[in-house]
Amino acid sequence: MNLHEYQARDILRQHGIPVPPGDVASTPEEARAIAARLGGRVVVKAQVHAGGRGKAGGVKLARDAAEAAAHAATILGMTIKGLPVGRVLVAPAADIAAESYVGVVIDRASQRPVVMVSAAGGIDIEAVAVESPGQIHRLAVDPRYGLLPHQAFGLGLRLYRDTAQARAAARIMEAVYETFYAVGASLVEINPLATTPDGALVALDAKIVIDDNELERHPEIAALRDSSAEDPSEVAARRAGLSFIKLDGSVGCCVNGAGLAMATMDLVKYYGGAPANFLDIGGSSNPQKVVAALRIITADPNVRAILFNIFGGITRCDDVANGIVQASEQVALTVPLVIRLTGTNEALAVEILTRAGFSALTDMDDAVRQAVALAAGRGVGAR
Amino acid sequence: MSIFIDAGTRLLVQGITGRDGSFHTRQMMRYAAQVVAGVTPGKGGQTFDDAVPVFDTVADAMRETRPNTAVSYVPAALAASAIFEAADAGIALIVCITEGIPVLDMTRVLPFVHERGARLLGPNCPGLISPGKSKVGIIPDTICRPGRIGVVSRSGTLTYEIVHQLSTQGYGQSTCLGIGGDPLIGTNFIPCLEAFQADPETEAVVLIGEIGGTDEQQAAEFVSRAMTKPVVGFIAGQTAPPGRRMGHAGAIISGASGTAAEKMAAFARAGIAVMQRPADVVPLLRERL
């Protein structure tokens, strides 16, 4: 789960990291009041889960409160990468002497949290990693001892010649590491960590991504979820317990298991189609999940055909078949359905579906070819 | 032969009285797995299905029944603790089926397991099966046949799809194992490939990877350096958009190294026959054997 910048700033501040003042507004009037309180020039920033906010016009500088309100009015109506902007952050426009980067992520190779720092802050760190990897310094931390003071200071010296600044950076890194575990993050990032003209370090922009598996034991973090900032179909899928990602093709996919779901999407492309989504209905054969899945897929106007691909192991094919029949009674289907089931009780499943007027296949390639043909407006059997 | 488990495997089930644990324990017992003990805290002294003694702790079960392998169906919130317990009691192979364990828990579990000298398979994996010999986990045994192909995968149902293709076209398996779809797992591809290379009854290996991380690239490097047996490989997620978690917590592309294209290229460079789709598995094996 992604947090908004303003939420990440609050969390960092709670963990003792210097964050400039500022507040979040959902109306131009609120933005005006915050700007008036801050005084001087302010920056108005769209709070949206998408990169490239600046380029999209979602970050604007204002000389005074009136201009802040005007910018907020523009930005609050915007859609950035398909996501509506419902809030803006209003913060002082800081004078910056230098920018660096501090982040903590999980490194799969060392299987440890890694502190990453770079003196090349303020820009996309992945671009730095590609263009000048030597500018990024990494330290894998032993989670049993945490980030030790001398390690943090050593990294601080990579960023600043001045030892007082290196020490300040080290304290910030230790706090970022502590935050990482405290909130159950998979990423905590300050970019830029800015040096003000008087030499102080402040976290000017912050990003926190939470491991979804942590949300159950961190209800206070789960409560920060902003469903209005997410794709509505993905919100509906999450509520139904489905793993779903919307894409822009025309073949709706409903599959059991994440690996098979990806392989099914890939096969759609292999046969010349484009998947409309990733959807894993999981191991359960609960008909309500099938109903929810069909609702979500059919709500996408791009979908021209729906493909079920079920490999029955623990999941019984006859249960899924019953789910499809029940779902088709509850959801109006305007596009053709192609169903492939194989494995446990497949013969029974085919019988159930045939009786209900559906045809069912047992071969994955046959089913995908058919779904692609139907989505392209060609008849069944077009090979 | 087989890898990691065989007919002598003495199995302990953590979470044996739970819904999933009890269902799969019966399936494993039906497949002739030797289930010697179960553990559910608070239910020590009971007997599961009139056959398997239940203990409060793994240490108790260890003293009384000497298991060498544990499989865990413990819910996510308690699953890390169950792995710690099994490793602490001296279990040599720990298979964790549970999905949804926080990654940060695993950063503490993995060094602990390593220090105790145990092998962890998973978490978020279907376990393993040596057809005709033993089964630990949830892989549906009906799709497997005894034979000479080793299968190792990061996925569940995709593995079943490919195993099904193998079995129905005359290629049985020595061992099929799923290493897990999470970003941090106990056993990556390399120890499995090493074991298949050393197993005299495995003739060829099917390697099933997916987007995210660089385990497949490291596996490819190992194949070119240390394997003489033919390897056929598949990567799921060619159509996955970057930055999104595709069901599996580990299946997320960040940067170029996690993409399917990059991994397929690494496979090809290492001399691995690259499948474009699951149905390619048998034709490619036939070419290589």
Going from N- to C-terminal start, the domains of chain A cover 21-92, 98-222, 231-375
Look at residue B255 in the predicted model and tell me its pLDDT: 66
Asked if B183 and A314 come within 8 Å (Cβ–Cβ), the reply is no
Q: Do domains B10-121 and B139-288 have the same CATH topology?
A: yes
Q: What is the mean pLDDT of residues B275-288?
A: 97
For residue B4, the distance in angstroms to the closest alpha carbon of chain A comes to 23
pLDDT at A315: 78
Instruction: List Cα–Cα distances, B97 to A147, A167, B50, B85, B123, in angstroms.
Output: 31, 44, 25, 16, 6
pLDDT at A157 over 90: yes
Residue with tokens 């608070």: B42
Q: d(Cα A255, Cα A249) in Å, to the nearest integer?
A: 16
- Count of positions (residues) in chain B: 289
Q: Do B158 and A259 touch (CB under 8 A)?
A: yes
pLDDT at A130: 78
The pLDDT-based confidence of A381 (bands split at 50, 70, 90) is very low
Is A101 labeled as catalytic in the residue annotation?
A: yes
Task: Say yes or no: A219 contacts chain B, CB-CB below 8 A.
Answer: no
Name the residue of chain A whose CA is nearest to B215's CA.
A109
CA distance B85 to B58: 7
Q: Is A218 on the interface with B (CB under 8 A)?
A: no
Residue B227, both tokens: 């394997």
> Which whole number is the average pLDDT over B41-68?
97
The pair of three-digit structure tokens given for residue B286, joined into one six-digit string: 């036939």
pLDDT at A380: 56
Q: Do B247 and A243 touch (CB under 8 A)?
A: yes
- Which residue does chain A place closest to B261, by CA atoms? A266
Determine the distance in angstroms separating the CA of B169 from the nearest CA of chain A, rounded to an integer: 14
Beta strands in chain A (DSSP E): 23-25, 42-46, 59-62, 79-80, 83-84, 88-92, 98-107, 112-118, 136-140, 185-195, 201-203, 206-210, 243-246, 251-255, 277-280, 305-312, 337-343, 360-361
How near does any CA of chain A get to the CA of B258, in Å? Answer: 11
Q: What is the pLDDT of residue B256?
A: 67
Shortest CB distance from A262 goes to which of B108, B246, B256?
A: B246
pLDDT confidence bin for A379, thresholds 50/70/90: low
Mean pLDDT of A343-362: 90
- Picking from A83, A105, A110, A111 by the largest number of B CB atoms within 10 A of its own CB, the best residue to mutate is A111
Compare CB distances from A213 to B101, B156, B238 and report the shortest one's residue.
B101
Q: What is the mean pLDDT of residues A121-144?
A: 86
Q: How confident is the model at residue B52 (pLDDT cuts 50, 70, 90)?
A: very high
Q: How confident is the model at residue A193 (pLDDT cuts 50, 70, 90)?
A: very high
Residue A223 burial (C-beta neighbours within 10 Å; 0-12, 13-18, 19+): exposed
ipTM of the complex: 0.92
Q: Which CATH number fits domain B10-121: 3.40.50.1220, 3.55.50.30, 3.40.50.720, 1.10.443.10?
A: 3.40.50.720
Enumerate the β-bridge partners of residue A99.
Answer: A194
Say which CATH architecture domain B139-288 belongs to.
3-Layer(aba) Sandwich (3.40)
Q: How far apart are CA A151 and CA A149, in angstroms?
A: 5
Q: In this complex, do A130 and B277 lie within 8 Å of one another by their Cβ atoms?
A: no
In chain B, where the domains are located: 10-121, 139-288
Mean pLDDT of the A61-65 span: 96
Phi, psi of B95 (to 5 degrees): -110, 115
Which pLDDT band, with edges at 50, 70 and 90, does A382 fall under? very low
Domain A231-375 fold = Rossmann fold (3.40.50)
b (16+ CB within 10 A) / e for A139-158:
bebebeeebeeebbbebbbb
Please state whether beta strands B134-137 and B127-130 pair in parallel, antiparallel, or not at all (unpaired). Answer: antiparallel
pLDDT at residue A284 in the model:
62
3-state secondary structure of B181: coil
User: Residue A346: CA atoms inside 13 Å, Cβ hemisphere, count?
Assistant: 18
Predicted local confidence at residue A285, as pLDDT? 62
What is the tens place of the pLDDT at every residue in B80-130? 999 999 999 999 999 999 999 999 999 999 999 999 999 999 999 999 999
Q: Give residue-wise pLDDT tens across range B166-213.
A: 999 999 999 999 999 999 999 999 999 999 999 999 999 999 999 998
Pick the CATH number of A21-92 from 2.40.340.10, 3.40.190.10, 3.40.50.970, 3.30.1490.20: 3.30.1490.20
The whole-number pLDDT of residue A286 equals 73
Chain B residues with beta carbon closer than 8 angstroms to that of A263: 158, 161, 234, 236, 277-278
CATH T-level fold of A98-222: D-amino Acid Aminotransferase; Chain A, domain 1 (3.30.470)
| Cβ distance of A211 and B103 shorter than 8 Å | yes
Q: In a mutagenesis test of the A interface, which of B84, B138, B239 is the best target, namely the one with the most A β-carbons within 10 Å?
A: B239
Shortest CA distance to A262 belongs to which of A273, A275, A251? A275
Contact A175, A15 (CB under 8 A): yes
> Residue A319: which pLDDT band, with cuts at 50, 70 and 90?
confident
Q: Judge whether A277 is closer than 8 Å to chain B, CB to CB.
A: no
Per-residue confidence at B283, pLDDT binned at 50, 70, 90? very high
What percent of chain A shows pLDDT beyond 90? 74
User: Using CA atoms, how far apart are residues A363 and A359, in angstroms rounded to an integer?
Assistant: 13
Q: Is the pLDDT of residue A243 over 70?
A: yes
Contact state of B157 with A311 under an 8 Å Cβ cutoff: yes
The rounded mean pLDDT for chain A is 92
The string of pLDDT tens digits covering residues B142-175 is: 999 999 999 999 998 999 999 999 999 999 999 9
Chain B residue numbers touching A270 (CB-CB < 8 A): 276-277
- Do A21-92 and A98-222 come out as alike in CATH topology? no
Q: pLDDT tens digits for B218-262? A: 999 999 999 999 999 999 999 998 878 787 777 776 766 789 999
Q: Are A217 and B218 in contact (CB under 8 A)?
A: no
Min CA distance, A381 vs chain B (Å)?
19
How do strand A185-195 and strand A206-210 relate by DSSP bridges? antiparallel
The pLDDT of residue A54 is: 85
